[in-house]
Chains A and B, each alone.
Chain A
Amino acid sequence: MTRRVFVCRCEDVTLDEIDHAIARELTTIEEIKRYTGLGTGPCQGRECMVPLARLLCERGLAEPATVQPFTARPPTEPVTFAALASAQPPYTGAADDDKDPEAAR
């Protein structure tokens, strides 16, 4: 095996690749996520977010007091289309949200 230090195993993002992103002046978590793909795989950032935040703080590229994780997008657990399709309106209680989008077109 080639010697590699992984920060994100899901998307095979190594420490070298983070360095390449930083060399391109991408120094925020959201930018590094997008350039390297870090955090976009099956674990959705559970493993890689903290090592990245620590690294940016160590390098002086982020402040521990202000560094934030990337947006936590739903779903945080696997959910099937079948389960979702079972949901019935109203979802919000707003008067018009049970409108059939097809009928509304």
Chain B
Amino acid sequence: MSKPRPLLELASPLPADEAVTLEFDGAPIPARAGEPVSAALLRAGVLATTRSPKYRRPRGPYCLRGECGSCQVRIAGQPNLRACTALARDRLAITPQNRWGPRGLDPTGLIDQVFRGGIDHHHLVVRPRIANAVMQKVARTMTGFGTLPDPATSAAAEARQVVHTPTVLVVGAGAAGRRAARHLEAAGVDVLCVDRRDRATLEVAAPGPLPAELLRAGVFAAYPHEGLWTAASDPLEAPLELHTIHPRAVLLATGARDPLLPLANNDLPGVVSARGLHLLLTRSGSRPAVPVVVIGEGDEAAILGEALGAAAVVGPEEVVEIHGGDAVDGVTLKGGRRIACGLVALAPIPAPTHELAAQAGITLRFDGHGFAATSDERGRAIVDPAMPQPWTLWVAGDLRGYMGPTAAAADGEAVAAALLESLEGAR
């Protein structure tokens, strides 16, 4: 195996009091205390940390913002945790997942070569019965990603429930959510703003100051029939917390995330989200150590290209294929031009993060780039009449269709003002 090539490097030397050491697969890796583990891994040249379930292709981080699953590794004895949201601390133990055989020599990697035409798992070796039984045995041994958590630490994991009864629940502390929460706080409203991202990430993720009452937890469901919303603390925090929230009004500002661009070999390690990469660089004080090619849609692709110091910015329709093996090494364009690179940053038009809105019964509309929450002009959500509504629902920012941080912040302010008015009207 060749020596790993760093994908990122520090923009300025690390002060001694911020330096910690992670253990990746038993080997030490330097990191900055509190930064996302992914930053440290990419600086150390660690890219592929798992394999895909079917074709067993090497996979590394993609979204870098806690949305997708491809950076999942074992951390501190727990399977399937995202390296991009786990925060570095001294001696944190990280292990790759889903590998077979000796390091670097995973024979299951051949599956991708052998099944060039694809695997139809429904009709693979159905007959004869004996062969089918063998196939199923083999498939079963390869199933699943991580292995069980460490028994002692898992059994001892402490947890507690925290009940909240705010007047307003604001979900998301991005550009729209934070501005809305601040507006409501300033008016003396009891507001709880929840976001799964840590404070340092939020500080660089969007413009504007954060609300005073900010809870770091992932809102994981709306249960209108039970009249509550639920959120969970980061699985690496102790004790684990389950937040049950009973609000009178909910302002959803869950933002937007990157859908995948359907391009050839869009899964190779080193193909990442341009927005996620930019955030990670800012958050961790790093810069690319390899040439970056941005493949993107819309006006923002060029801006992101500039911010990332990209060697080239191209549209998806220009791309023939992304190349590489354990790491991406180039992009071929129509007409045959090939650009060498070490990172491919995808900048699709973001798609609204619609899941919680859907659970709450908000009507969605496909806008060509995602499923946007619908509302009246003041931001009051349009809801399915069959769904119980123990609260009033409001939506702001990119969730209403991607608008970008500046417009989202202004939208957050405007919707919060309308919400405030309705609260005062109800009084």
A and B directly contacting (CB within 8 A)? yes
> Could you tell me which A residues sit within 8 Å of B by CB distance?
1-12, 14-17, 20, 35, 37, 41-44, 46-51, 53-55, 57, 64-65, 67-69, 71-72, 74-80, 82-88, 91-93
| Cα A2 to Cα B240 with chains together (Å) | 42
CB-CB under 8 A from B59, the residues of chain A are 9
Q: List 10 A-B contacts (CB under 8 A).
A: A4-B267, A41-B69, A42-B68, A42-B69, A46-B259, A72-B354, A75-B230, A79-B230, A80-B159, A86-B240
Please give me the residue from chain B that is nearest to A77 by CB atom: B218
Choose one: B52, B227, B258, B324; the contact of A92 (CB below 8 Å).
B227
B154 closest partner in A (C-beta): A82
* Interchain CA distance A68-B161 in the complex, whole Å: 34
A-B residue pair count with CB separations less than 8 angstroms: 187
Asked whether, in the complex, the Cβ of A4 is within 8 Å of the Cβ of B242, the reply is no
Contact B55 A78 (CB under 8 A): no
B265 interface residue (CB < 8 Å to A): yes
Nearest A residue to B112 via CB reads A2
CB distance from A95 to the nearest CB of B (A): 14
Q: How far is the CA of A76 from the CA of B221 in the complex (A)?
A: 6
Q: Is the CB of A15 within 8 A of B262?
A: yes
Provide the residues of chain A in CB contact with B264, threshold 8 Å: 3-5
Q: Residue of B at shortest CB range from A8?
A: B260
Spell out B's residues near A (CB within 8 Å). 52-55, 57, 59, 62-63, 67-70, 72, 80, 112-113, 115-116, 118, 120-122, 145, 157-161, 196, 218-223, 225-228, 230-233, 235, 240-242, 244, 257-268, 321, 324-325, 351, 353-356, 358-359, 364, 366, 368-371
Q: Which residue of B lies closest to A14 (CB)?
A: B118
CA distance A71 to B325 in the complex (A): 35
Q: Inside 8 A of A79's CB, which chain B residues have their CB?
A: 218, 220, 230, 232, 242
- Nearest CB on A from B208, distance (A): 24
A15–B221 Cα gap in the complex (Å)?
A: 31
Residues from chain B with Cβ under 8 Å of A4 in the complex: 55, 57, 118, 264-265, 267
Most B-side CB within 10 Å, residue of A9, A64, A87: A9
Known: A4-B55, A41-B53, A72-B355. Is A78-B232 also a contact (CB below 8 A)?
A: yes
A84 to B384, CA, bound (A): 28
Instruction: List residues of chain B with CB within 8 A of the CB of A10.
Output: 53, 68-70
Query: Which residue of the partner chain, among A11, A20, A49, contacts B259 with CB atoms under 8 Å?
Result: A49
